[in-house]
A and B are shown apart, each in its own frame.
Chain A
Amino acid sequence: MGHTDRAPLLRKLFNFHGGVKPNANKQQSAAQPICTLPLSREYVVPLHQSIGGTPQPLVVAGDRVLRGQRIGAADGNVSSAVHAPTSGCVVAIEERLMPHASGLSAPCVVIEADGLDEAAPRENFDWRSASPDAVRDYLRDAGVVGLGGAVFPSHLKLKANNSIGLETLIINGAECEPFITCDDRLMQEKAREVIEGVALMAHLMQAKQTLIGIEDNKPDAIAAMQAAAQTAGQSNISVVAIPTRYPAGGAKQLIRVLTGIEVPHGKRSTDYGVQCFNVGTAFAIRDALENGLSLTTRVVTVTGNVERPGNYWVRIGTPMHELVEHAGIKPGTERWLMGGPMMGIPMPSLDVPVVKATNCILAGSAELFAAPEPEMPCIRCGECAQACPADLQPFEMYWHSRARNFGKAQEYHLFDCIECGCCSYVCPSHIPLVDYYRFAKSEIWAREKDKTAADQARDRYEFRNYRIEREKEEKAARLAAKTAAGRAAIQASQQTVTGDAAPSETADDPKKAMIAAAMQRAQAQKAAAQPQNTEHLTPAQQAEVNDAEARRARARELADQDAQSIGKTSPSADTPNKMAD
C-alpha cells in the first residue's frame, strides 16, 4: 500500500465544536450509478447563477445556439458566465420562476432544443502555457463556480495569498448533509478525473500539500480516490477520512478538521494559507481546462419520497419536473427541496430549472420529515450553543432577532452563523431558530442598503442646497459688479456734460443722478405713450377716457405696492444698468 493509505492514519485531525449526527439516509441513492438524463425539449437557463453580478445576455430571441456556447457574459470579475446546455434556438429572454425560497422570477434564456446537441467549436486555450490570470479569466468565461452549493465563482478563489503562498489546498468531499450522494458517486465513478482536476488546481495555486477530506461513511469513495491518487502518482495529494458529523462539510469546519485553522467570518481563507474547493468543482475545472467544456452539466441526486432515488448527470437549465418525473413522483410528497434536509430550500414549484447550485432534489413527505411540533418558549437550556459549529450562543441571537433588536443580534455575531441548522435540530422547544437568523440577516442587509441610500440622498440634497445658495450668491455678486459699473458710467457722462462745475455733487450722490435719469426716461416714455388725438372729444368720450385713466392709475398703484413688497430684488433694480448701456 502506498502513502495515500498511511497518510490518514498518521494525520492528526482536529475537532470542531458542536455539530449533530442526523440519520445519514444516503443508502437510497448512494448505490445508484450516475445516469444521464435524456435531452429535454426546453431549457431555461437563469442568467444569474453565481454569487456576484448578473451576466449580460449575449443572445437574442431567435438566435441559434450550440452546446457550450456562452449566452451570458460575466458582469465584471465577480460574476460568472452561463452557457447553452444544448444546441437549439433561443425562444425568449424572459423572467422565469427561480429555484429560490422567494418564489420570485428572474431573467432567463429559454432555449428550445433541436435534439442535435451540436457542440460549439472548442476554444483554443492551453492552460499550461497561459498566465494564471488568463487561466482565471478562462474559467470565469467557462462559468465554473463552486458546486458544493455556494456557487462562488471559482476563478476568484484560485489565487493564493502572494506573501504567504498556499500551505494547504483542501478538497471537500465530505458531503455531510443527509440524503445527498452526488459527490460520493462522482468520486467513485470519476476518481481519476477528479484527482486530475485537483492536481491541476494544486499546480495553479502552487499548493504545498493537498488534502481531500471525505467523511468516513463513504468508504467506497475514499478507496476510489486513494487508488486514483496513487495511480496518478500525486505524492502530495492525500485522501483523508474524517469523522462523520454534520456539518463537517462546511468549508470552515472542514478546514478546521484537516488543519486546525479557524478562518474567521469575513476573512479570506487564503490569508491563512488554505483554500477549499468542492470535488465537483475540481471535476468541472478539469473539464474546462483539459476538454474545453464550459459548465453546462452537473451531478444531481434525486432522493427522498421518489420511486427511483438516484444520481443523474443533468444539464443546467433542465426543468426540475422532468428530472423528478424521471425518478418517479410518489404520492404523499409535501414539498420539494433543493439541497438536503438541513439546509435545503423549498421549491415554489417544480417549474423551475436545475441550476449550478442544485446538488440534490429531495422529495419530502410527512413520513420523512414530520411536521414540526408547536413552538415552545426558549428555556435557555443551551443545547443550541452546544451544537453550534460556529461557537455561537444561538439562543441569545434568537432572543434579539425575535425582538427585532438587530444591533444586539449582531453583537452576538449573527453574521458568523452559517445557517447549518444544528441549533434548530436540537432545540427541545422546537423553535425555528435559523428562520429567525435568516429573517434578521435579510432585514439588516436591507436596512444597510436603505441607510446607504439615505446617506447618499442626504449628501445630494445638501449639495443641491449648497449649489443653489452658491448660484444665488454668484448672481448677487454679478449684479453688484454691474451696478458699480453703471455708477461709474454715469459719473463719467456727467463729468463730460458739466465739466468740472459740480463734480462733488454728482460724486456725492450718484444715486440721485441715476434716479433723475430714470425719471427723465420715464417722462419721455410717458410722453410717447400719451394718446395724441385727444383734442376734440365729446364729454362722453372724455368721461370714458378719464375712467380708463383712473383704472390705469389704480393698476399702477397696485403694481407699485407689489413692487415694494417684493423689495430690493424687484426687476426695477435693473433699470440703471439698462440706462448705462
Chain B
Amino acid sequence: MYNAPYLRQNNSVSRVMLKVMLALLPGLAAYVWQFGIGILIQLLIASVVALVCEAAMLRVRNKPISRYLLDGSALVTAWLIALSFPSIGPWWMVALGTAIAIIVAKHLYGGLGQNVFNPAMVAYAVMIVSFPALMSQWPAPHLSGAEQWQLILGNERVLDAISSATPLDALRTGLHSGHGTVSTVTHGHAAFGWLGGQGWEWIILGYAIGGLWLMQQRVITWHIPCALLAGAAAVAGLLWGIDSAHYAAPWFHLASGGIMLGAFFIATDPVSGATTPRGKLIFGAAIGALIVVIRTWGAYPDGVAFAVLLLNICVPLIDMYTQPPVFGHKKD
C-alpha cells in the first residue's frame, strides 16, 4: 500500500546519471580528437574498476546490487576521475584512484547520497599528493594510439619525448623561476594555444556545451557553474588588472585546466554541494576564487580538487545560513 501522489514524473537517478554521462560526450570527443585514444582506455579502466568496487561494497553492505549498480552514479564518478587524471598515466593510477573514490569516499561515508566529499575529487587529491610526478604528466597533442597504449599499460615509461606539461604547470614553473612574465613564458611555448592550453580549448568548449545542455535538461541549475566561473574570473581579473605581467588573464584561467569540468560536472554534484539557490552561488563563487588562488600561489598546478573539497566541508554551514524564505515569509 502506498499513498498519494499516485502520479510520478518519469524520472530516476539512473536517468539523471545517464544525462550527466551524455553531457560529458562532447568534451570527451574533443579530448579524443586532440589527444588521442588514451582517454578512452582510462575511461574503460575506471568504469570497470568502479563497477567492480561498487558491486563488492554493495555486497559487503548488504544492499541490492543490481538496483544500485544500475543507478549509474559509480560510472559518473569513474568518468570524472578518468577525465580529470592525466590520460597517459599508468593504468593502476586511475584504477587506484577509482577504487579510493568508490570504496573510501563513497561507501565508507554511507554510499549514494551520503558522501560529504566529491568522490572523484577525493581520488584526485589523494593521488596528486601521493604521486605528484605521475599526476603531472599530460599527453602532448597528437600522440599516437600505440604510444599511449604503451604508456598506460606498458612497464617502462619513456616520458620526456612525449609527455608535456599542462599550460598551467608551464606557467607556474615559468613564473616561479623568478624572471619570466606571462608573455615571455607563454610566447612560443608549445603547450599554449590561442586562448588557454593547446588543444584544451576545444575540450573545455565541449564541456561547456555539455554543461549547458544539462542546464537545459534541468539536471543542474545555472547557479553553481555561473558563480564558479564568475568567481574565478573575478579573482583572476583582479590580479591581472593589478599586474598583468605576473598574473595570467582571466580567460586563460577559464580556458585551461579542469575549471570547466569542475564548473559544470564536479561542483554541481548535488550530494556534496550546496542546495539552496543563494548557497549555490556562494559555493560556486568560493570554489572559483579558490581555484585561481591555488593556481597562483599553491603548490599544485591546478586547484579544482582542493577548492571543491574545501567547499564541500562548508556545505552544511552554507546551506544553513542560506535557507530561502518560505511561502508567506518573503520580504517584499
Contact = CB atoms under 8 A, between A and B. Distances in A.
B7 A342 contact: yes
Interface stretch (B8-16, B84-92, B254-262): B8-16
A178 B9 CA distance: 14
A428 B7 contact: no
A179 to B, nearest CB: 10
A48 B148 CA distance: 78
Chain A interface mostly: loop
Interface in A86-107: 101
A393 B15 contact: no
B221 interface: yes
B324 interface: yes
Given A263-B328, A379-B270, A22 B7 contact: yes
B177 interface: no
A393 B327 contact: no
Given A389-B327, A393-B323, A377 B113 contact: yes
A416 B326 contact: yes
Contacts of A424: 5, 8
Contacts of A379: 13, 16, 73, 112-113, 270-271
A392 B271 CA distance: 18
A432 B327 contact: no
A389 B64 CA distance: 34
A427 B15 CA distance: 12
Given A337-B4, A343-B5, A391 B325 contact: yes
B48 to A, nearest CB: 23
A376 B71 contact: yes
B270 A426 contact: no
B168 to A, nearest CB: 31
A369 B112 contact: no
Interface in A318-369: 337, 339, 341-346, 364, 368-369
Interface of B: 1-9, 11-13, 15-16, 64, 67-68, 71, 73, 111-114, 218-219, 221, 270-271, 273, 275-276, 319, 323-330
Given A337-B4, A374-B64, A390-B326, 6 more contacts: A262-B328, A342-B4, A342-B5, A378-B113, A383-B218, A393-B323
B15 A341 contact: no
A267 B326 CA distance: 14
Given A376-B71, A377-B113, A377-B114, A425 B327 contact: no
B4 A345 contact: yes
A557 B318 CA distance: 82
B4 A395 contact: no
B11 A383 contact: yes
Given A377-B113, A382-B270, A391 B5 contact: no
Given A346-B3, A380-B270, A382-B270, A426 B11 contact: yes
Given A383-B11, A428-B15, A252 B5 contact: no
Contacts of B327: 16-17, 252, 256, 262, 264-265, 389-392, 416
A560 B64 CA distance: 80
A338 B178 CA distance: 78
A393 B276 contact: yes
Interface of A: 16-17, 20, 22-23, 101, 178, 252, 256, 262-265, 267, 337, 339, 341-346, 364, 368-374, 376-383, 385-386, 389-393, 395-396, 412-413, 416, 421, 424-430, 432, 434-435, 438
A382 B275 CA distance: 6
B112 A372 contact: no
A383 B275 CA distance: 10
A211 to B, nearest CB: 19
Contacts of A256: 327
A434 B329 CA distance: 22
B187 to A, nearest CB: 45
Contacts of A265: 326-328
A372 B6 CA distance: 8
Contacts of A426: 9, 11
B270 A262 contact: no
B270 A376 contact: no
Nearest to B8: A425
Contacts of B273: 380
A381 B16 contact: yes
Max chain A CB contacts within 10 Å: which of B13, B15, B324? B13
B328 A267 contact: yes
Contact of B111 (A17, A377, A435): A377
A236 to B, nearest CB: 26
Contacts of A101: 3
21 contacts: A17-B327, A341-B4, A342-B4, A342-B6, A342-B7, A376-B113, A377-B113, A378-B113, A381-B16, A381-B270, A386-B218, A386-B221, A391-B325, A391-B327, A392-B327, A424-B8, A425-B7, A427-B8, A428-B16, A434-B4, A435-B3
A377 B330 CA distance: 31
B326 A392 contact: yes
Nearest to B68: A376
Contacts of B111: 377
A382 B221 contact: yes
Contact of A380 (B6, B71, B113, B330): B113
B270 A341 contact: no
A259 to B, nearest CB: 13
B2 A432 contact: yes
Given A372-B8, A385-B275, A428-B16, A391 B324 contact: yes
Nearest to B16: A428
Contact of B13 (A370, A372, A428): A428
B271 A434 contact: no
A264 to B, nearest CB: 3
Contacts of B73: 379
B3 A262 contact: no
| Candidate in A256, A374, A425 with the most chain B CB atoms within 10 angstroms | A425
B5 A370 contact: no
A399 B71 CA distance: 21
Most buried by A among B73, B219, B275, B276: B275
A265 B330 CA distance: 12
A370 B8 contact: yes
Given A378-B113, A428-B15, A344 B4 contact: yes
